[in-house]
Amino acid sequence: MIAQLLPTEVVAVDATLDPPEATLFPEEAEQIRNAVEKRRLEFTTARWCARRALAGLGLPAMPILPGLRGAPQWAPDVVGSMTHCNGYRAAAVARTSDMAAIGIDAEPNDTLPEGILESIALPQERGWVRQLMRTAPEVCWDRLLFSMKESVYKAWFPLTGRELDFEDALITVNPLARTFRARLLLPASALKEGDPTGFSGRWSAGGGVLVSAIAVPATVPATVGGQQNAPYQMLVGSAA
């Protein structure tokens, strides 16, 4: 499911079951020593996916430990991202020579709990979410918006080492092409040289799961209007 959302330079592996043969390195196991079973399983299977993905890049199995603010620590020449939700786990990795950042996120295709949309969505985003909830109710657009923002954060944080709030990214979606864009709303004073000012990504829905994915090429600025954001018609919530 996830590999189709990412460029060929990215190796992505997903799983809908927890393989019994999945194991952890001792230092990884230490990280979840006191965790409940659900956490152990998602942590372990995401790393099983990651090691298979790393093997696809020709790299050996290695521990993948949580680093600053929980961001996974990859080998120096690797970028990647992991996600897990009920019934779905995934990892995506690439060489830093090809990609500057990857952000992936999976969520159940269920509507957000009451009140959450208001806390994560900008007014313009609430507008397209409500419209699409009426016209294409097979996708929980509120949850998909949440997933896209999580993908943005997972790409942003390893690139910059800085936090990003939900109101800092304005998401627009193309429901037919299954693409999305994030325009960062940070004031110029909050941006440092080389920071991305936007991201573009792809999304999918299937098997009760929503997945969003962003891959930032190493050689192209991650800005809206950059080459990676080749123009496409924004059908809903167009803001770019």
Ligand X SMILES: CC(C)(COP(=O)(O)OP(=O)(O)OC[C@H]1O[C@@H](n2cnc3c(N)ncnc32)[C@H](O)[C@@H]1OP(=O)(O)O)[C@@H](O)C(=O)NCCC(=O)NCCS
Instruction: Identify which range of 7-15, 109-117, 150-158, 205-213 contacts ligand X by CB under 6 A.
Output: 150-158
- Examine residue 152 and tell whether it contacts ligand X (CB under 6 A): yes
Q: Which residue is nearest to ligand X (CB)?
A: 70
- Residue 5 dihedral angles phi and psi, to the nearest 5°: -90, -5
User: Binding residue for ligand X (CB under 6 A) from 78, 79, 159, 169?
Assistant: 169
User: Binding residue for ligand X (CB under 6 A) from 2, 49, 72, 92?
Assistant: 72
- Examine residue 70 and tell whether it contacts ligand X (CB under 6 A): yes
Burial class of residue 31, CB neighbours in 10 A (0-12, 13-18, 19+) = middle
Q: How far is the CB of 111 from ligand X (least distance, A)?
A: 16
Which stretches of 23-155 are assigned E, i.e. beta strand?
A: 78-85, 88-95, 99-108
User: Binding residue for ligand X (CB under 6 A) from 166, 185, 223, 240?
Assistant: 166
Contacts of 74 (CB under 8 A, 6+ apart): 64, 80, 93
Q: How far is the CB of 101 from ligand X (least distance, A)?
A: 9
Tell me if 12 sits within 8 A of 103, measured CB to CB. Answer: no
Q: Which of residues 74-103 bind ligand X (CB under 6 A)?
A: 82-84
**Is the CB of 119 or the CB of 233 nearer to ligand X?**
119
Token pair of 32, please? 């979840």
Token pair of 75, please? 């080998």
- Examine residue 38 and tell whether it contacts ligand X (CB under 6 A): no
Q: Per DSSP, what are the bridge partners of residue 233? A: none
- Residue 102 dihedral angles phi and psi, to the nearest 5°: -135, 140
**Is the CB of 132 or the CB of 169 nearer to ligand X?**
169
Residues in contact with ligand X by the rule CB under 6 A:
43, 46, 66, 69-72, 82-84, 105, 149-150, 152-154, 157-158, 164, 166, 168-169
